[in-house]
């Protein structure tokens, strides 16, 4: 089993770095800045962060903003005023919204893997995985198809969503959220989903793996959301969020990307006593910047306030958890 010694053992909050409130915002993000995903050019102190905002009809679109890692502030004028990807055409798997999951550089292109939302009648929504590609450095993205690249199937009978994709030694690998059932409750249907994996030769056609990558920790847990996987040397590391009553951040590691060991102390961010992330911490993604580590995540109400950053260190004398 892989060691966790090479990843941060503690994290320090650096605050809400991209708030929704304040400056004028485009119409596609009247609320929320959810599921932040950072993409950094080699040696650059600026990172492009893709995220999902909601319009006044509660439909999600995908945009981006550049964050300066020195000041931990947005770069002026870097927010996309038009969405990079909006809801799909009427009747499509993503006609009710799109939420970003990850962006993978490949040759001269950027491959954006995302979740498409369609509203339901007996349950609130149906989710499937889509792909959009940019050939101009991320200025524009185009769907590869009006259909999803991964949707419900025998192993994922209720939904497939939130993929984390790596191009790993010539093989495309994906870890994604797999819906197992909907539970009827007095306060409405409750989804149950965990993490499974898939492989591909081209990043487009996927073969699902039979094993459950990350299952529920106990009977109270019913959802494991938005995994983010990095490979470091010979080992794999996954950050995710899981919930019983509310989302909290978690961490697991693996020697092969198939069998995972969850660490009980999670991502080592204790719930804040108050503030934008005092009730919930969700949707993590992690960036390694030389010897520094950055954890991008959302807080209360699934990112209603925006997204924030925590800084990590592997050296026990480096960054404290206060």
- Per-residue model confidence as pLDDT tens digits over 255-266: 999 999 998 765
For residues 271 and 107, the model is more confident at: 107
Cα(197)–Cα(173) distance, integer angstroms = 7
* Spatial CA neighbour of 283 closest among 252, 250, 314: 250
pLDDT score, position 43: 62
Examine the pLDDT at 40 and tell me if it is beyond 90. Answer: no
Q: What is the model's pLDDT at position 112?
A: 98
Q: Which residue has the higher pLDDT, 273 or 276?
A: 276
Predicted pLDDT of residue 4: 60
The answer to the question of residue 269 being in a domain is yes
The more confident residue out of 44 and 293 is: 293
Which residues have CB under 8 Å from 136's CB, separation 6+?
none
Task: Note whether residue 4 is domain-resident.
Answer: no
Decide: pTM greater than 0.75. Answer: yes
| Residue 3 domain flag | no
Contact 304, 20 (CB under 8 A): yes
> Are the beta carbons of 148 and 159 closer than 8 angstroms?
no
Cα–Cα distance between 150 and 131 in angstroms, integer? 9
Q: How confident is the model at residue 5 (pLDDT cuts 50, 70, 90)?
A: low
CATH classification at residue 169: 2.115.10.20
Number of domains in the chain: 1
Provide the pLDDT for residue 313.
65
Has residue 207 been placed in a domain? yes
Range of the domain at 227: 10-313
Q: What is the pLDDT of residues 140-193, one digit of tens each?
A: 999 999 999 999 999 999 999 999 999 998 999 999 999 999 999 999 999 999
Give me 246's structure tokens.
């509310």
Please state, in angstroms and rounded to a whole number, the distance separating the CA atoms of residues 171 and 259: 18
Q: Is residue 2 part of a domain?
A: no
Domain membership of residue 27 (yes or no) is: yes
């Amino acid at each position: 089993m892989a060691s966790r010694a090479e990843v941060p053992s503690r994290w320090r909050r650096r605050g809400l770095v991209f708030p929704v409130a304040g400056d004028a915002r485009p119409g596609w993000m009247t609320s929320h800045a959810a599921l932040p995903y950072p993409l950094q050019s080699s040696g650059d102190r600026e990172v492009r962060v893709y995220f999902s905002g909601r319009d006044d009809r509660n439909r999600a679109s995908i945009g981006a903003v550049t964050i300066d890692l020195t000041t931990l502030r947005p770069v002026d004028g870097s927010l996309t005023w038009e969405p990079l990807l909006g809801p799909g055409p009427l009747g499509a798997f993503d006609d009710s919204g799109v939420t970003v999951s990850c962006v993978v550089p490949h040759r001269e292109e950027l491959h954006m893997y995302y979740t498409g939302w369609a509203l339901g009648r007996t349950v609130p929504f149906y989710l499937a995985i889509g792909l959009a590609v940019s050939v101009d450095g991320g200025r524009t993205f185009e769907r590869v198809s009006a259909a999803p690249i991964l949707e419900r199937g025998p192993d994922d009978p209720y939904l497939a969503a939130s993929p984390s994709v790596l191009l790993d030694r010539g093989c495309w690998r994906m870890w994604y959220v797999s819906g197992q059932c909907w539970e009827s409750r007095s306060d409405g249907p409750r989804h149950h989903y965990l993490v499974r994996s898939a492989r591909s030769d081209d990043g487009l056609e996927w073969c699902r793996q039979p094993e459950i990558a990350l299952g529920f920790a106990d009977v109270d847990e019913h959802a494991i959301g938005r995994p983010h996987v990095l490979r470091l040397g010979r080992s794999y590391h996954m950050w995710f969020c899981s919930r019983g009553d509310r989302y909290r951040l978690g961490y697991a590691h693996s020697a092969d990307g198939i069998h995972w060991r969850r660490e009980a102390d999670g991502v080592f961010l204790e719930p804040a006593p108050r503030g934008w992330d005092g009730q919930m911490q969700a949707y993590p993604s992690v960036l390694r910047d030389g010897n520094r580590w950055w954890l991008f995540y959302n807080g209360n109400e699934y990112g209603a306030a925006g997204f924030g950053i925590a800084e990590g260190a592997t050296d026990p004398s480096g960054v404290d958890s206060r």
